[in-house]
Amino acid sequence: MVCEIRALQVLFAHRYVILCSNSYGGGADLWANAMESPCYQKYKEISKTAGGPDGGKDDGSKHTAVGSTSKCDGRLEILGVRMVHLATSQVKSGLPSGIKLAHARHVQLRLSGTGFTAMQIDGEPRLQPPGVIEFVAASEGPAVLLQVC
């Protein structure tokens, strides 16, 4: 009887963790725990040699370089994931939660082939037919939010 209850509790806790972070658990742990890939290292090298991916346009003060990240660095973090990572990202296990791919200012994703791909923007899911998905900084500029100190 006790055993059964224990098993149930474990089950409950497990499910709850999965659910709690409906998606990617706020993101913070995801990038920090992610594995570095040859792909990302190559990307870093390229951007170092070029003095930032977009060279001279970099105004330095506001935007940070590749690698160090913040909420308002004008850059997006791109992660590759496998099914396993979805599970590991939910638990603080120390296992990699994804594969770092790039840290870029302008991102374009090209989907080829046929059939729809599942896509999720800010938790709102949709089906995306093959095509180009482009990420550009919004013209309205950054938003101001309050953070608990």
Partner 1 sequence: MDDFIYPSKRLSAFAVTIAAVNLYTLGLISVKRSTVLKLNIAAVFSFAVYVVGVQFFVVDFEAQPLNYLLVALPLVVIPLAGNGNGAELSLVTPVAETASKLIQTLVLDSSSVVVQTRGEAIQRRRKFLRRPDAPAGARSRASSGMFFGRIQTSSPPLLSPLRLMWCIMATATFLFLRQANLLDAKVSTLLVWVVCTIVVLIIEQQLHIKSRFVGAAVKGRQRVVRAYEKRYRWQKRDAPVVDSSLVPSNKTPLLAFVNTKSGGGVGQVLIRELRALGMHDCQIWQLSSNHPPRNAFEPWLSYLKSGRSLRLLVAGGDGTVSWVLGKDGVDCLPESIQKSQLPVAILPLGTGNDLAKSFRWNSSYSPHDHGIVPHLLRVVEANERLLDRWTVTATTSSTPRHGTDGADKKNKQLAEVNQPDTESMSMLNYCGIGCGARVALNFHTLREQHRWLFCSQVTFVTLSVASTSALAYPAFKSDVVVNDCFGALQLLNKFIYANIGGGQVLRSQFCFGSRNSFARRVEIICDGKRLEGLEDLHLEGVIVLNMYDGV
Is residue 91 a contact residue for partner 1 (CB under 8 A)?
no
Residues 6+ apart with CB under 8 A from 51: 58
CA distances from 46 to 75, 114, 133 (A): 16, 32, 23
Cα torsion through 100, 38, 67, 148, rounded to 10: 20
Is residue 93 a contact residue for partner 1 (CB under 8 A)?
no
Residue 75, number of CB atoms within 10 A of its CB: 22
Q: How far is the CB of 111 from partner 1 (least distance, A)?
A: 6
Is residue 88 a contact residue for partner 1 (CB under 8 A)?
no
Stretch 112-141 residues interacting with partner 1 (CB under 8 A): 112-141
Cβ atoms 114, 56 nearer than 8 A:
no
Is residue 25 a contact residue for partner 1 (CB under 8 A)?
yes
Cβ atoms 97, 88 nearer than 8 A:
yes
Q: How far is the CB of 94 from partner 1 (least distance, A)?
A: 17
Please identify, using beta-carbon distances, which residue of 2 and 123 lies nearer to partner 1. 123
Q: Give the per-residue contact string, 46-75, with partner 1 (x = CB under 8 A; - = no).
A: xx-----xx-------------xxxxxxxx
Q: How far is the CB of 33 from partner 1 (least distance, A)?
A: 11
Is residue 16 a contact residue for partner 1 (CB under 8 A)?
yes
